[in-house]
Amino acid sequence: MPQDDEEFAHWYERGNVHYRRACVLAEAERFEEALPEVEASIEAHEEGGGQGEVRRAEAVRMAALIEGKGLGRFQAAVARLTTAAARCRRAGLTEAADILEALRQDYLRR
């Protein structure tokens, strides 16, 4: 990544790299390793402010899938999803909030 280009969105690239790593690790069922990667993606997209909200929401969804389905930590995943869905609603990202809420409801039924 170029370090000197002011218009280059370092947070976006870092977030996507961590997200892709998390996906690969999750696919290999290496969930304990995947979770910190996706959490790093969430943090990177946080740096993007409003521009990073949609990608951040997707990273939160992936984190909840890893936590819930991969690691069986449904309560932690529900807490993560509750916070993220509310944040998306406040940001006007209704579709993202609905997706997170649907996964949350699925986990609550378990």
CATH (domain of 32): 1.25.40.10
- pTM to 2 decimal places: 0.91
For the chain, what is the mean pLDDT? 95
Q: Is 20 domain-assigned?
A: yes
- 2 within a domain of the structure (yes/no): no
The pLDDT-based confidence of 7 (bands split at 50, 70, 90) is: low
Q: Is residue 1 part of a domain?
A: no
For residue 1, is pLDDT > 50?
no
Percentage of the chain modeled with pLDDT above 70: 94
Number of domains in the chain: 1
The range of the structural domain enclosing residue 87 comes to 10-108
C-alpha separations of 11 from 18, 22, 38, 47, 102 in Å: 11, 16, 14, 6, 28
Give the pLDDT of residue 77.
98
Give exposure, 57-73, as e/b (b: 16+ Cβ within 10 Å).
Answer: bbbbbbbbbbbbbbeeb
Q: What percentage of the chain exceeds 90 in pLDDT?
A: 91
Q: Which two tokens stand for residue 31?
A: 């969930």
**Is the model's pLDDT at 3 over the cut of 60?**
no
- pLDDT computed for residue 5 by the predictor: 61
Residue 5 resides in a domain: no
The stretch 25-42 carries a mean pLDDT of: 99
Residue 50 lies in a domain: yes
